[in-house]
Amino acid sequence: MVSAQVWTVEDHLREQPEEHVALYRRLESVIRSFGEVSLSVSKSTITFKGSRRGFAGGRPTRHGVEGYFDLTRPLTGDARIRRVTPYQRNLHVHHYRLREDADLDETFAGWLREAYDVGCGAHLRT
């Protein structure tokens, strides 16, 4: 019988550039500042979950921190947002890349806060 590898946060951090690991830790800190969050770790990403659902994910890479977050509206015109994909009738998945500390600014933190609200069920009330 072959056992599947269980992925951990440390697996994602290992062998990544130090500055990108630090940026990921900062992203995690911002997300955790919103309230109760749990993690679900898979081979592809580290997902942050609110009380109702996963709402964001990320991991350090050699290019920065890459991931996604879910909003009830699509964002346009920001270089950090690589693409937006409709997910459900009222949800849009935003794929992002942060390259440096300045990318994790107040605007980006605001989007993460909106995504946290989705994780707590805000998309069900709209």
Tell me the pTM.
0.91
Q: What is the pLDDT of residue 2?
A: 55
Give one DSSP letter per residue of the chain, joined into a string.
-PPPPPP-HHHHHTTS-HHHHHHHHHHHHHHHTTS--EEEE-SS-EEEE-SSSEEEEEEEETTEEEEEEEESS---S-TTEEEEEEEETTEEEEEEEE-SGGGS-HHHHHHHHHHHHHHTTGGGT-
Distance CA 66, CA 74 (A): 18
User: Over 90: is that where the pLDDT of 89 sits?
Assistant: no
Distance CA 28, CA 42 (A): 16
Distance CA 36, CA 99 (A): 27
What number is the average pLDDT over the span 106-115? 98
What number is the average pLDDT over the span 86-112? 96
Each residue of 94-105: pLDDT tens digit? 999 999 999 999
Distance CA 32, CA 112 (A): 10
Give the residue extent of every domain in the chain: 9-124
Each residue of 24-83: pLDDT tens digit? 999 999 999 999 999 999 999 999 999 999 999 999 999 999 999 999 999 999 999 999
More confident position, 6 or 54: 54
Confidence band (pLDDT; 50, 70, 90) for 124? confident
